[in-house]
Structure 1
Amino acid sequence: MEALIPSSALVRDIELSEREYMYDRMTAIQNRIGNPEGIEIVQFGSALCLYSKTMPWGTFNTVKGITSHDLEYIQPIINFYQERQRKIQFEVVPSIVDAGFLKMLSDHGFYQTGVHTSTVMEPRIFDEQLPEHICIHELNEDQFETYAMIHCRGTGLPDDGIAPVAANNKVLLHRPGWKFFMAYVHDEPAAVAVMYSNHAIASLTFAATLPAFRGIGLHQFLLKRRIEEAKRNDCRLVVGQCSFLSQSHRNMERVGMKIGYIRTTWTNDEGV
C-alpha cells in the first residue's frame, strides 16, 4: 500500500473528521434532557465554537475549523467565550491559516501554548491474531458504567466523574457512526476505545487503559481493531489524534499511521 501524500485536500479531510466527531458528540450531550452539561454550539463563518458550562476542559471549550477568511469573526468569538467566563482556545491547523491570521491572534493577546498531532492512514486488515488471554468486543448498552470507570481511571479523572462520563457517552451508542470497544485480559475489563465514522473517514476519538494493564499492547490492539472496522465499513481514511511523541503517537506509528499535520493551540491569559 502506497503512503498517503500530504496535500491541502488531505489536511481538509483530517480537519473535517475531527470537527464532525466533536460536533456530533457535543450535539448528543446537548440533547440530553435539560442539557445538564450546559452545552452551546455556535458557528462563526467557518469556525465551530464549542462550550460546556460544567466541563471546563479545553476539549469541550474550543474553536475548530477557523481559517484566514474568518478574521472578522475573531472578536465575536472572543466575546462569546468572555461572556461565559471561559478561557478561549483556538485550534490552528496549518495550510488553512496564514501569517496575517496569526498576527491578528497575537495582536489580541493570544500565543501558542501547545501542539497536537493528527495522524492518518488508509484502513487495512492486519494478518495477526490476539493473544489467547486477550479479547476485544463491542460495548453493550449495560456496560457504560464499566466503560466510564476505565475512561476515568485511565485518564486520571476522579471516580466522581464516572456517572457523568457514562451518561455523556451512552447517548452516542445508537447514533450513526459511533462504535465503542472494550479489551479484556483474562476476561477482566482492561481498556476501552471509541471511533466515529462519517463521509468514509473514521476518527479514532478516544482510548484509555487501566494503569494495571499498561505495557502489554492493549492500545495497539485497539488501534488495529478500529482500523479493521473502518476497512470493513468501506472507509477510505482513518484519522487519529494524540499528543506529539506520546505513547499513543508511537503506537499509532507502529501500526502504520503517519503524521497528517501538527496543529497548534492558541490561548491568552484571560478567562478562567
Structure 2
Amino acid sequence: MLVEWLDIIAPAWIAGSLLALLSAPLGCLVLWRRMSFFADALAHGTLFGVALAALLQLPFGVGIALVSVMVVIGLMWLEDERLPSDAILAVVSVSMLCLGLLTLTHLTQMQANVLGYLFGNLLEVGWSDLPILSACVALGIGFLIYIWRQQVILATHTDLAQVSGINATRQRLFFMGVLAGFCALALQAVGSLLISGLLILPALTARLWAHSPKQMVIFSVILAQLAVTGGVWGSVLFDIQTGLAIVLGLAIAFFMAFIVSRAS
C-alpha cells in the first residue's frame, strides 16, 4: 500500500522540490526589484496562454511564450505618467485572467480542466515528466546565476549599475524571460492563481529574518522546500488541492513569522 502511495506522491514531491529551487531565488529578485504585480500579471497570463494554444492547436509552451511577449509589449505601450504603474499591472493581470477563463470555458473543449489550470494539480506529475522538468529548472537556475550579479545591482544600487555599464533594458528582458519560463513550469503545480504566492511568500517570510541577500535566498529555499513537502503530504492526508495546501502553508508560515518578529 505504501509503495503504491509513493508511486503517486514521489514524482509530485520531487517536481515540487525542483520548482522550489527556482522559485525561491527568483522570488527574492521579484521583491528586490519590486515586480510583484508584474509577476502576478504574467502568472495570470499563463492561463490565457494555455487557452490560446488549445484554440490554435499549438504546444502550451508556445502559447504561454506568445502571451508573455504580449504582456511585456502591452505594459510598455501602456506606460503613462498620468497612470500609476501598479494600477496598470492590476488591469493587465485581471484582463489576462478574464481572457483566459473566457477562452477556456467557451472557445475550447477544456472546460473540465479549468480548476486544474487555476489551482494546479501537482499529483498528476509522473516519473516521465521529471527529466524535462529537471532540465528546464537546471537551465533556469543556470541562467539566473549568469544574470544574478547584474540583477542585484540593478535592484539595490541603480547609480552603480549605470557606472558599471549594465544595460538595464536588456537585464529587465532577461529577468522577464526567466519569470515567464517559471510561470509556465509552475502552472501544473500550483495553477495560474497561486503562482505568485509560491514566488513571493517564501522570499517575504525570509526577509523578516535574513540579514543579508545570501541569507534571504537560503531561508527562502528552505521555506519553499518545507512548504512543498507539507503541501504534497497534507493534500493526500486531508484530501485537498495540492497547490492550495502548498501556498496556504507558506501563508501560515509568513503570518507566524511576522507575529514572532513583531513580538521579539
Fold shared per TM-score above 0.5: no
Q: When you count strand as a share of all residues, which structure comes out higher?
A: 1
Query: Where is the helix percentage greater, Structure 1 or Structure 2?
Result: 2
TM norm structure 1: 0.22
Higher relative contact order (CA 8 A, sep 6+): 2
